[in-house]
Amino acid sequence: MTAKDDNNIPASPAQEEDYSLEEILAEYGGSLEHLLLRSAEQAPPGPEEASAPGEDASAPPPPPEPPAEAAASGGAPPPAEEPPPPGAHPGAPDPMQEAERAAAVDVERLKIPHPRPISLEDVVGSTVDAVMEEAREPLLPPRRRGLFSRRPLEETEPLPPPPEPEPEYDPEPIGPEPELWEAAHDARQLYARRRHTQLLPLLTALPPTLALLLERRQIKLPYLSGDPDVQCIFLLACLGLTAVFCRHVFLKGFGMLLRRRCVSELLISLSALVSAADCASRLLGDPSADRAAPYAAVSCLALVFAQWGVRRESKGNYDMLRAASVDDEPPYLVTDTHQGACKQRGSVPGFFTTASRSDAATLWQTALLPVFLAAALVFAGLSSAGQEAGGGFLLNLSAILPAAATFSLPLCWALPWSKLSEHLQKTGCAVAGWSGAQKISARRRMIVTDSDLFPPGTVQLNGRKLYGEEPERAVSLAASMARAAGSGLEKLFNGLVRSEGGRYEKVDDFSFYEEGGWSGSIRGESVWMGSASFMRKMNVRLPADVNLKTGVFLAVDRELAAVFAVKYNPAENVDFALRMMQRSRIQPILASRDPNITPALIRRKFSRGVHLEYPDLTERIALSEAEKDRDIPRALLFREGLLPYAETVAGSLRLCKAVRRAAAISLLGSWAGTLLTFYLTSLGAYDLLNPLALELFLLLWTLPVLLMADWTGRY
């Protein structure tokens, strides 16, 4: 098409060729940005560019050019006008000049500074200054946001502190201990001094009670009936002789007081002294004491029961130490773990320290008997002061004190302990007193291993069958794997190695499997050993004619090498021990490494009612390894098998039960007797609270303790 001008007149070809790209942009594309760029090009050079090498750089820069309007009004002469482009009308204005004038007017109106070039040094310097300025400014804390703000909170929750490290195991301190044979010798001498002190106190304590019985039957005794002074002399003589024969009660009572222990022997000793003072006051003519019979007969019987308890406690300590001193290195010891009682191999240090600790009955009496003693003193004062029908202070106190210290309190620990020690001494065991018995029986759990259920001699080899292996090599591989596993089969294959002339090999990369087997590497060959189910799960082909429930299979490089037929013979003492544990409600934990010894095998070989806990493989291995530890001994075993182990734990459990129950019943009887005697003495009902009635009351509270002591040894 032919180009046209503004008047719609076709332009000539010469006119079309005369317009350049700059002219077109100046006319149609002239904008503020374009003019700014043009003015930047025409701006004067900076001070660095304007200064010549020989000129002073500090000279002031030349003044800027005045704007176009100022120059046209009378300043510098205007620049010469450029000639119009060819082909343009002579009188028409130049569009490019008009655009430049408009741009200059806009620049002046908007006060846009003239850009100047910036060197790289200025950029780097300004950047460094800005960074240093920011570093000097303090950091302001972030502003908190509201709870229900849509924007997330800027502050995050603090991370939880790292878990505290578990406290290291702090072993119990073991003080200086005598040799067990020396301790046993001292216990034997002490028991010998107390052994024959039971019959004589009984002979001197029974006559006052018999005299009261005869008077109750209206039988008069010559020189005794009807004469209060003679009765007081007779009672005082019997009480004095009984106290001399039962001097060990006084020694123990006041000796334990020096160790800050208040026991029943102390209260019984005080009651004997108060009864003697009451009889002496009657002889001196105290009129307030003639209203009731003296209670010296009750104090005599209390001394006899206390002497019995001291003697039986000495007998229990002697039996325990005599059994423990048999060997300085006992075959086994029983200690306490987090899972329950555990049989280990160890030595005797720490046994005497554990055995010397106080029993539960002593600790309970230390906590409560001072309260009973204070109550007896207060009640005796209240019942004797301001009461017309009441008796004297010594009379009331001699009635309340024996009731506060019942006949059964000295027997709560002594009788069950002597019963258990005598029984365990006959079976070759020894328990370290109350502390040892309480620790091994607290959880009612026992860790049982392969050798406990099937001791040596009960596991036999019924036959073997080889598949491409020499007998010597097959036996060597099987014995090496059994030794690495630490199972009860080690002793069985040890005999085979000796008879076949084999030898033990080094086993590398040994591993246990939950499926019932082991694996290892012997001289670069992969060896697998375990039950038939384990071999099938490991993709080892088994012959169809082999069907053994308790067989041991050996495979080399996943090829069957040998089969050993193992027979497990149940022992009668093991069956009895399992039933004993079941009756005592003690849970056995099966920590076996033999793949054939499972709860199913135990139920087939022993009583079907026996329930064993069978933990996972990792826990079984950990429990079986606990047998190799050497902790503080709580009991000592000098015989093999499960029966001594079970008797020790079951007997300890029964001992703890009997002592706690006997102490609870005795303390309850003491509190009831204290309140009852205070009530009767405050009313002056001495005919109801006569010495025979008080003795009968205390004997009834003693009967349950005697039954529990006999129950301790029956398991």
Q: What is the pLDDT of residue 148?
A: 46
Question: Does the pLDDT of residue 399 top 60, yes or no?
Answer: yes
Strand partners, 342: 335
pLDDT bin (cut points 50, 70, 90) of residue 61 is: very low
> How much is the pLDDT for 563?
92
Strand order in the sheet with 559-568: 459-466, 559-568, 551-556, 525-530, 517-522, 508-513
Give the H/E segment covering residue 662: helix 642-683
Range 647-675 average pLDDT? 95
Sign (positive or negative) of CA dihedral 702, 704, 705, 711: positive
Using pLDDT thresholds of 50, 70 and 90, give the confidence band for residue 228.
confident
Rounded CA-CA distance 473/475 in Å is 5
Among the ranges given (237-251, 405-419, 427-441, 455-469), the one the predictor scored with the smallest mean pLDDT = 455-469
**74: confidence class by pLDDT, cuts 50, 70, 90:** very low
| Burial (CB count within 10 angstroms: exposed 0-12, middle 13-18, buried 19+), residue 399 | buried
Q: Inform me whether the pLDDT recorded for 445 exceeds 70.
A: yes
Bigger pLDDT: 457 or 186?
186
The pTM (predicted TM-score) of the whole model is 0.72
Q: Give the mean pLDDT of 463-470.
A: 86
Q: Is the pLDDT of residue 117 over 80?
A: no
Does pLDDT of 66 surpass 50?
A: no
pLDDT of the residue at 248: 94
Asked whether residue 52 carries a pLDDT value surpassing 70, the answer given is: no
pLDDT number for residue 262: 93
Residue 540 or 135, more confident? 540
Phi, psi of 467 (to 5 degrees): -130, 85
pLDDT-derived band at 457 (thresholds 50, 70, 90) equals: confident
pLDDT of residue 48: 42
Asked which of 103-117, 398-412, 575-589 is least confident by mean pLDDT, the reply is 103-117
Mean pLDDT of the chain: 81
Q: Which residue has the higher pLDDT, 289 or 63?
A: 289
Out of 45-59, 479-493, 507-521, pick the least confident. Answer: 45-59
Task: Work out the number of other CB atoms within 10 angstroms of the CB of residue 668.
Answer: 12
Residue 641 has pLDDT above 90, yes or no: no
- CA-based angle 246:250:253, to the nearest 5? 130
Query: Residue 58: what pLDDT?
Result: 40
Q: Which CATH number fits domain 459-568: 3.40.1110.10, 3.30.470.20, 3.40.50.2300, 1.10.760.10?
A: 3.40.1110.10
In this prediction, what percent of the chain has a pLDDT beyond 70?
76
The residue extents of the domains of the chain are 180-446+637-712, 459-568
**Is it the case that residue 14 has pLDDT exceeding 50?**
no
Which pLDDT belongs to residue 171?
Answer: 59
Residues 523-541: tens digit of each pLDDT: 889 999 998 889 988 888 8
pLDDT for 683? 87
Who has greater pLDDT, 31 or 124? 124
Long-range contacts (CB closer than 8 Å, 24 or more residues apart) made by 602-605: 602/453, 602/578, 605/568, 605/570
104-109: list long-range contacts, CB under 8 Å, 24+ apart.
104/35, 104/39, 104/67, 104/68, 105/68, 105/69, 106/32, 106/35, 107/35, 107/36, 107/39, 108/67, 108/69
Band (630; pLDDT cuts 50, 70, 90): low
Quick one: pLDDT at residue 22?
A: 54
Note the helical H segments in 196-295.
Answer: 199-216, 228-245, 247-258, 264-283
Q: What's the pLDDT tens digit per position in 670-707?
A: 999 999 999 999 888 888 999 999 999 999 999 999 99
